[in-house]
Structure 1
């Protein structure tokens, strides 16, 4: 009796354990940022499970989790520029897989799609685009080159259900000889620019000096002209103020007291003055001459 009860208990325990196993196996949870690809007896279903809890057939079906979050990969690439310069570059790519293509990606590529599809496509896109530009253009037009490579890459991997979110060129590197040539060219351009700047500065200074001289010459000419005009105006006023009586008075004021030897009919002319001290006599002589 006791053994029978024990056997019954063991059987019940086994049944409960099996039920738990079956129950657990019949439930799956798809985490956030993932989709679940249902595989039934090795066959991949087109049905994709969204985030959350789902039921499946235990022991018959399994659910493979595919990451739909944005992922990042970095890769180094080598190529040749249009002018046959060796180009080494590093790129960083943000990408994610299309949720609706999760089952197809798993069926045709598997979970290693980054190594199988993405990285070879990156290498191919880098080589194809860098070959269209010279080494110098790869430096000066880096942004445009990056956009073109990103667009080419996106087109290549889109058919596989991989979407490119962002493409960045981390660096471009060239041979030591090319780097030296670029440095020498930059130094030469800087020296040329410096020489042109100094030449322009000298021209500006010379023009400024010439303008100052012109201004000074004009100022001096104006001063001379104004002085001449002032003297002419003064002389004109003096000449206008002189009359016969004034001239006679000035002659008398300037007479030194000596009698003239010759007195003309024009009282303004006295020639050959003799000695004498009588001023009044000289005046009378002048009046008598008139």
Structure 2
């Protein structure tokens, strides 16, 4: 008993020492923190309620855990989706944006926003939002302003214009409006896109019928163009053949004219004499005998 009592007395002075060491280690560990890649750190002084001048770049940083806290904001591009499919957006369930066309038709839009924190204004962002996290800022700025501005701008257009013909124009106007609002709140809009337009069944059927009619008209237009091209080709080919026949006929006529001009009586007589073999033809039956001018033959031989 005395040994155990002495051992107990020996252990008691060690406990405060161990506790002090543990506290010291925790303080040291809390003194050093890491700013993640793609983020900037903003240090807040709990005593003076001031934001430390200058931003902390990624890496190990030193703070006083008793008097200071650090908030990190991403400065890389962030993507926020509001879509109908629950597995793709930030919010579970159908989170697409509900709008109304100028005809009063109800539509749903899948919207995707890319933004980033303005790095040079990150400290002001922290101050104005009371040190709120990026998720809070994203919900109150990116989400709320998008869901507010998109229906207002889309309501100026018809449902067919929203679906296709003026979709790019609508996107540009929404992006310009959101860019202004984001800039006021130290964010930068990188891009805004309407990924898909969801129509009621009746409108979707009407749109499909219109597209089918346009495709049929385009097909008929193509067929007509091909027919016209083929007819033009046949015309050109026929004209080419006729021209070739005229050329050959003219050449033949020119040749015949030249030949007729060259066949004089003297030439014909000379050709007859040249081709005669000196033998009188043997004729059986009645008929006139060929007349041969022997004088001229003799003269020709001389």
How far apart, CA to CA, are the structure 2 residues paired with 1:239 and 1:195?
Answer: 67
Shift of 1:77: 0.7
How far apart, CA to CA, are the structure 2 residues paired with 1:234 and 1:123?
Answer: 96
Shift of 1:128: 2.3
How far apart, CA to CA, are the structure 1 residues paired with 2:64 and 2:187?
Answer: 28
How far apart, CA to CA, are the structure 1 residues paired with 2:287 and 2:156?
Answer: 120
| 1:174 aligned to which of 189, 199, 204 | 199
Aligned-residue Cα RMSD (Å) equals 4.4
| 1:196 aligned to which of 196, 211, 221 | 221
Say if 2:103 and 2:159, in contact at 8 Å, map to a contact too. Answer: yes
How far apart, CA to CA, are the structure 2 residues paired with 1:119 and 1:207?
Answer: 60
Q: What's the secondary structure of 2:240's corresponding residue?
A: helix
Q: What's the secondary structure of 1:50's corresponding residue?
A: coil
How big is each residue's C-alpha offset from its partner over 1:125-152, in whole Å with a ceiling of 9 and x where there is no partner?
A: 2112222333333324444433432231
Instruction: Establish whether residue 13 from structure 1 lines up as the match of residue 38 from structure 2.
Output: no
Match of 2:79 in 1: 72
Figure out how many residues of one structure are paired with residues of the other and give that number: 251
How far apart, CA to CA, are the structure 1 residues paired with 2:114 and 2:255?
Answer: 89
Higher fraction of strand? 1
Match of 1:128 in 2: 152
User: Larger C-alpha radius of gyration, 1 or 2?
Assistant: 1
How big is each residue's C-alpha offset from its partner over 1:200-258, in whole Å with a ceiling of 9 and x where there is no partner?
A: 222232233233333333333344444444344433333442799x9xxxxxx99x9xx
How far apart, CA to CA, are the structure 2 residues paired with 1:91 and 1:113?
Answer: 18
Tell which deviates more after alignment, 61-70 or 74-83.
61-70
Say if 1:78 and 1:89, in contact at 8 Å, map to a contact too. Answer: yes
Say if 2:99 and 2:107, in contact at 8 Å, map to a contact too. Answer: yes
Q: What's the secondary structure of 1:47's corresponding residue?
A: coil
How far apart, CA to CA, are the structure 2 residues paired with 1:107 and 1:279?
Answer: 137
Say if 1:45 and 1:103, in contact at 8 Å, map to a contact too. Answer: no
Say if 1:38 and 1:44, in contact at 8 Å, map to a contact too. Answer: yes
Tell which deviates more after alignment, 224-233 or 174-183.
224-233
Instruction: Establish whether residue 187 from structure 1 lines up as the match of residue 187 from structure 2.
Output: no
Match of 1:104 in 2: 127
| 1:50 aligned to which of 47, 56, 68 | 56
Task: From the superposition, tell whether residues 74 and 200 of structure 1 become closer, same or farther in structure 2 (CA, over 3 Å).
Answer: closer
How far apart, CA to CA, are the structure 1 residues paired with 2:24 and 2:289?
Answer: 166
Instruction: Establish whether residue 118 from structure 1 lines up as the match of residue 139 from structure 2.
Output: no
Shift of 1:195: 1.9
Match of 1:238 in 2: 263
